[in-house]
A = this chain, B = another copy of it.
Amino acid sequence: MRQKPEPIERCLCDVIHEDVVNQVKDKMPEEETLYDLAELFKVFGDSTRIKILWALDEAEMCVCDIAALLNMTQSAISHQLRVLKQAQLVKNRKEGKVVYYSLDDDHVKQIFDQGLTHINED
């Protein structure tokens, strides 16, 4: 998070396990792919956004509806909808003054379900 890759300490394991480490290194996806993946999950990593997504999976709603539902300010919701939009998880349509938001991704529910499966384990 802080800064870019840095000098490094070595230990004996690195020699002993060199083969395994190199094999894994070869199999690792692109740095950028993993970064994007983390960025996506970061969007899911906030309970306000989770609630918004969950709500929008039930029904299309306008900004102030969501604010009322979650008992939060319009501004806070609007800021979060912006984040969700940038992540292409929600889309919107304008009807007069009112902007209706809905899910823009079929996998949202599936990602939730995988998460819930983990939580509900043991």
What is the interface of chain A, defined by CB distance below 8 A to chain B? Answer: 1, 5-6, 8-11, 13-14, 17, 20-21, 23-25, 27-29, 33-51, 54-55, 58-59, 61-62, 64-65, 67-69, 71-74, 88-89, 98, 105, 107, 110-112, 114-119, 121-122
Contact A59 B24 (CB under 8 A): yes
- Tell me whether B11 and A41 are in contact (CB under 8 A): no
Whether the Cβ atoms of B37 and A115 lie closer than 8 Å is: yes
Question: What is the predominant secondary structure among interface residues of chain A facing chain B?
Answer: helix
B24 touches A69 (CB 8 A): yes
Top 5 A-B pairs ranked by shortest CB distance? A42-B45, A41-B44, A38-B47, A45-B45, A11-B64
